[in-house]
Amino acid sequence: MKKVPSMIIVLLLSMALTGCNMQNIFGGLMGSKEKTSSRSSQQEEKKIIAVALNQEDPNKDMFLLGIQEMAEKEEMEVKVLNREDQGNSQALKDAKVLILQEGEQSFLKEAQKGDIPILALNGLPSGVKAKGVILPDPDQVGRLMAQQVQGKVTEGQVVYLQGEAEDPIAQMNVAAFKQELGKDSKLTLHSITNPPESETIAIQSLMEHLQKNSGQVKAICAKNEKLISLAYELLKTMGLTDKIYLMGGEANPKSLHRIASGSQIADIDTAPYVQGANAFQWAQKLMDKQSVDITQSITGDQGEVAAKIIPVKTVTTENLALIQKSYTKAAEAQKELEKKKEESQAKGSGGQGNQKGGEKSSNGSGSGSGNSEEKGAESSSQGQESSSSGQSGGQGVMPEGVKKVTEKVHTEIIREYLDEKGNVLGTEKSANDQVRTVPPEMLLKEQQQQKQQGGQKEQEQGKQGNQGKQGEGASNEMKQGAGGS
């Protein structure tokens, strides 16, 4: 019978006494590699969507709200870039997709150089090849504008302020407008264009046209808010506000106010919130390398671009209150979202948690993490931890034999239109389903970290509570001493 080497006997006895198994031993030997691979996988999981909007667009907050609310639900980071940011070479660092409404040419070239997919929002930018575009239905916009004019004017001339002559979307708008208006032989169309960012040139041309065709122009239509508001100011100056109808193609808080005051007959709700939400969903699929079911396209200066067309509707005095309420709620929601983000950033910079319970405990009256679910979307890292713990019962226990973990995410947007009494008059619904794969070892590690952090927070909160009581006792002693003297 062969003798067992003494080294193996000692090793087996040690395992029996300590309760270790071979997996733990080899795990210790290979631990450094596992930690390194775990850190690298977490870095790869970091996904940022960069967003560059037109700061002069009256609906920029609505676009951004649609993007940010979807990002909050999906626990993803959105980096909003202004003009100053676009001059920074690090502006697109870690960005996987760029949702673009407007940007400097050097900035756009930087994005293309870095192979960052560009999704155009609300129109096609010039000089850049976009992966796709989300925009309001250009044909429907033109037709609906013409129909509103036909309901007010039976004969005479209609002026259409088209905007930039080379804008393919504007060309489609005016073509549909002209076709619809052509159904009435007594109405004629005069179109006015302008160079990029030179709307005042169009207004100068409009003034000259009105002077040369006194009494003949019955209505003025404009593609966007900037043009229609300038036209309104011109009509006031010329004393023609009660003689010429105004019709817009981009509903916003200012135009809704003009409709309410009778200065404008109608406008087109281009659904900016829905555009933003769709832009996020498309961006997410690009990051996850998923196919996008898009069958339509738009031809721009860079060729054919896949297009997601959003339905639009007319805003008149009949549904004005309903639309105004929707825009007001969206504005309030955007302010609340920005406030929440600022609070989250302020707390994060101080190295503290984002839970309200933590704030209360610092005053000696907190209840731990009681409000963590309500504020869980303030930080993407916290959202990932809470999501992970929820999938395994919150105990940080991974079932035996797990080789793969998938997350099925169902995103649903329901837009309700309410009357003054709060009754639902109509709804719009869209949904998106996706399946993501999560490395099980990373999920288990996050659960264990969360459990450890929870224990540490409870200890810290207990210490802070005791310190608060001690501080109150010392303060009372000082007050008593002062009173006695």
User: Which tens digit of pLDDT belongs to each residue from 325-364?
Assistant: 988 888 888 888 878 777 777 776 655 444 444 343 333 4
Q: How confident is the model at residue 266 (pLDDT cuts 50, 70, 90)?
A: very high
pLDDT at site 427 = 65
| Whether 304 contacts 96, CB under 8 Å | no
- pLDDT of residue 176 exceeding 50: yes
Residue whose pair of structure tokens reads 């713990």 in the numeric block? 389
Average pLDDT score over the chain: 76
Question: If you average pLDDT over each of 120-124, 156-160, 478-482, which comes out highest?
Answer: 156-160
Q: Which of 330, 323, 312 is nearest to 256 (CA)?
A: 323
Lowest pLDDT segment from 147-156, 276-285, 357-366, 393-402: 357-366
- pLDDT of residue 106 exceeding 80: no
List Cα–Cα distances, 360 to 97, 346, 365, in angstroms.
39, 16, 6
Listed in sequence order, the residues at least 6 apart from 409 whose beta carbon sits closer than 8 Å to its beta carbon are 74, 433, 434, 435, 436
Q: How confident is the model at residue 418 (pLDDT cuts 50, 70, 90)?
A: confident
Q: Where are the alpha helices (DSSP H) in 241-362?
A: 253-261, 272-287, 320-349, 356-362
Q: What is the pLDDT of residues 194-220, one digit of tens each?
A: 998 899 999 999 999 999 999 999 999
Phi, psi values for residue 98, rounded to 5°: -115, 115
Residue whose pair of structure tokens reads 């931890």 in the numeric block? 385
Read off the pLDDT of each residue in 39-63 and give the average, rounded to a whole number: 78
- How far apart are the C-alpha atoms of 350 and 301, rounded to whole Å? 48
- How far apart are the C-alpha atoms of 209 and 187, rounded to whole Å? 17
- pLDDT of residue 43 exceeding 60: no
| Whether 180 contacts 245, CB under 8 Å | no
Q: Which of 339, 175, 323 is nearest to 260 (CA)?
A: 323
Read off the pLDDT of each residue in 223-243 and give the average, rounded to a whole number: 95
Phi, psi values for residue 401, rounded to 5°: 80, 5
Q: What is the pLDDT of residues 9-35, one digit of tens each?
A: 444 444 444 444 444 434 443 444 444
- pLDDT of residue 383 exceeding 50: no
Q: Do the strands 313-315 and 303-310 form a parallel or antiparallel pair, or are they unpaired?
A: unpaired
User: How is 415-452 classified by DSSP, letter by letter?
Assistant: EEEE-TT--EEEEEEEEEEEEEEE-HHHHHHHHHHHHH
pLDDT at site 449 = 67
Adjacent-strand bridge partners of 187: 156
| Whether 128 contacts 145, CB under 8 Å | no
List Cα–Cα distances, 124 to 55, 160, 166, 297, in angstroms.
16, 21, 11, 11
- 471-475-480-485 Cα dihedral, nearest 10 degrees: 130
Any idea how long the chain is?
A: 485
Structure tokens at 177: 């407008």
Three-class secondary structure of residue 365 per DSSP: coil
Adjacent-strand bridge partners of 315: 267
Structure tokens at 205: 């041309």
pLDDT at site 103 = 75
Listed in sequence order, the residues at least 6 apart from 73 whose beta carbon sits closer than 8 Å to its beta carbon are 377, 411
- pLDDT of residue 424 exceeding 50: yes
CATH topology of domain 46-320: Rossmann fold (3.40.50)
| Whether 134 contacts 66, CB under 8 Å | no
pLDDT at site 403 = 67
Q: How many CB atoms lie within 10 A of CB 15?
A: 14
* Dihedral sign of CA atoms 19, 21, 24, 26 in order: positive
The number of angstroms, rounded, from the C-alpha of 388 to the middle of its chain's C-alpha atoms is 24
- pLDDT of residue 234 exceeding 90: yes
- H helix count then E strand count, the chain: 15, 15
Q: Which of 381, 379, 326, 322 is nearest to 354 (CA)?
A: 379
pLDDT at site 157 = 96
Q: Where are the alpha helices (DSSP H) in 125-271?
A: 138-150, 168-181, 199-212, 225-238, 253-261
Domain residue spans of the chain: 46-320, 379-462
- How far apart are the C-alpha atoms of 401 and 243, rounded to whole Å? 78
pLDDT at site 33 = 46
